[in-house]
Structures are given as structure tokens and as C-alpha cells.
Amino acid sequence: MRKVDAAASKLRSEASAVIDRGITESNQNDIWCGLQVYYNLGELKPAVEGLVGKCKAAGAKSVTVALDMKAISMAGGGGGPGGVQRSGTPQLGGSKRAADALWERMRQCMEELHRAVTAAWQLQTVLTKKRVPFTQMLFLEEVWQVSHDL
């Protein structure tokens, strides 16, 4: 049983790597091949949920990091005396450095959000276009067949 579990684990890691490469390179065939491996293992729905969750987490993290007011005020030079008000919230003031720091963080956030949304879109495109070879069902139908929660 150990050999079977080890082989399944290796297949999962290779399928994940192929999907990640496909998303990075915008190669739908690689994404489809990785999803096909998960389908053959009977783990298509959890794999898709994991990929969607990864995209959501990346987007949420980028927004959280971009809007971290304490880090923005430190980057903008507001970390000295009077940099934090009584309530504990940082004071940005009208300094150009603070505004530049905020806009730089927003630029990075938008780039990361673009990557996350593009990854989700590529996954959705493959799920709606590619079919399971034996049943000719769309991958999306196969995922929804178990549950309509997505």
C-alpha cells in the first residue's frame, strides 16, 4: 500500500506542477492534462476547489498587504514622533512620500490581483471547454455533478 500511496502522491505533485506551469504560461493544454490526472484519481472537485481557493487567497492577501496603513506610514516616513495617533491608527498626512508609497502598493496589489483573476479565468476556460475523454462530459459538469456549491 505504501508504494501505491507514494505513487499517488507523486502524481498529485506532478499534476499540480503541470497546472501551475500551464497557468503561468497560459497553456490550456497543460492545465487540462493536470486536471485529467486529478479526474483519474477521483479528486477533480477538491483539486478545483483548492485552485480556486488559492486564487481567492492570493487576491485577499494582496489587498491586505496593499492597505496595511502602518506599513504605508512607515514607508512614507510617518514612523517618527507623532506618526501614530492616540487611537493607534497611523497618520498619513499630506506628504508626497506617503502618497507615493500608497500608490506603489496599489500598483503591486493590482498586478497581483490581475494574476489571480487571470489564473481563475484560465481555470474556468479549461473547465468549460475541455471534456473527459471517455464520457465526453465537460470538466465543469463533472465538478458540478457532485455538488453545485461552486
> Mean pLDDT in the chain?
85
In this predicted model, which residue has the larger pLDDT, 35 or 85? Answer: 35
User: b or e along 87-102 (b: 16 or more beta carbons within 10 Å of the residue's beta carbon)?
Assistant: eeebebeeeeebeebb
The values of phi and psi at residue 85, to 5°, are -80, 175
Tens digit of each residue's pLDDT (9 = 90 or more) over 11-45: 999 999 999 999 999 999 999 999 999 999 999 99
Domain containing residue 15: 2-146
Domain count for the chain, please give it. Answer: 1
Tens digit of each residue's pLDDT (9 = 90 or more) over 86-116: 555 555 556 788 788 888 999 999 999 999 9
